[in-house]
Homo-oligomer: A and B are copies of this chain.
Amino acid sequence: MNNFPSKETIIDAPQRIAAFIHQTPVLTCSSLNQIVGCDLHFKCENFQKMGAFKMRGAAYAVDSLNEEAKRKGVATHSSGNFAQALALSAKNHGIKAHIVMPENSPKVKKAAVLGYGAEVTDCASNLAARESTLKEVVAQTGATFVHPFNDWDVIIGNSTCANELLQQVADLDYIVSPVGGGGLISGIALAVHYLSPKTKVIGGEPMNADDAFRSLKAGNIVPVQNPDTIADGLRTSLGDKTFAVISELVEEIICVSEEEIIAAMRMVWERMKIIIEPSSAVSLAAVIKGQPKFEGKKVGVIFSGGNVDVEKLPF
């Protein structure tokens, strides 16, 4: 843990980004408690600015730049939420954002990024093209590359989600979070480690993108190839920083099927009347799958975002 962010850094993070994010509410639902058999507390990042927790990490990373770096701006490659989060964070600080977007990115997301005043560079829709295009952009502009998840500042920003939750709900036995690239759960695990060490952190992951599960088992990063899951935010594989944090501080990864993800998503839409994206539903699906471990326990469930295309629903 030598190179992990310090306790002081994690404690100070919320006030650093307070002006740029929402303190999201924690909701409960008695009918879901009855169905699932535990005391569920849902941390609603679907109500975050941009509709996803990504805003926290992007806000912190931009705030952490020195003045010279701010003059040169930030850059990233992303087809989705992180692109918007970084573009908006750059706008909030009056600096430039250069976003490399695969040519098949949803038009509405590209329009949103442009709407925040970012410069968009198109590239072919594969990781090699994204990375080489980004390199060119960085070489030309001197912008600081902010990785969507494998970046300590992004992880520290994401930790504020758990920091808030732990203040909103006392004595949680568990916090269950979705795992994609691992940026969210790493932030959560760090906050819990320092602020509520009795609480156990568990990851939920789609079976069809189970790189975190396999990586923890193997003891090294085992990336997934072309994962096919409805939980589009969880298709990425761990990076070295997120793997290190998860290996050390996360209790277990529970894998869930596509059917279990869709059933959990529908349960939340119908019972709680809130819109969550499939990636969010993976947390609740993992709690249901992981019973009887959670029986009668006080469980924080992270809803990571609410950005869905209402014309393309799985029900």
Contact = CB atoms under 8 A, between A and B. Distances in A.
B270 A310 contact: yes
A45 to B, nearest CB: 10
A37 B110 CA distance: 25
18 contacts: A25-B25, A46-B273, A47-B273, A51-B273, A266-B310, A269-B275, A270-B310, A273-B274, A273-B275, A273-B276, A273-B306, A274-B274, A274-B275, A275-B275, A310-B313, A310-B315, A311-B315, A313-B313
Contacts of A306: 273
Q: Classify chain A: how many residues form its interface, as a range.
A: 10 to 19
A50 to B, nearest CB: 11
B310 A269 contact: yes
Contacts of A25: 25
Nearest to A266: B310
Given A46-B273, A310-B313, 15 more contacts: A25-B25, A47-B273, A266-B310, A269-B310, A270-B310, A273-B274, A273-B275, A273-B276, A273-B306, A274-B274, A274-B275, A275-B275, A310-B315, A311-B315, A313-B313
- Copies of this chain in its oligomeric complex: 2
Contacts of A315: 310-311
Interface in A45-61: 46-47, 51
A274 B311 CA distance: 16
A270 B311 CA distance: 11
Interface string A281-315: 00000000000000000000000001000110101
A200 to B, nearest CB: 28
Contacts of A311: 315
A273 B49 CA distance: 11
Interface string A4-33: 000000000000000000000100000000
Contacts of A269: 275, 310
Of A51, A266, A275, A276, most B-chain CB atoms within 10 Å: A275
Interface in A192-211: none
A33 to B, nearest CB: 14
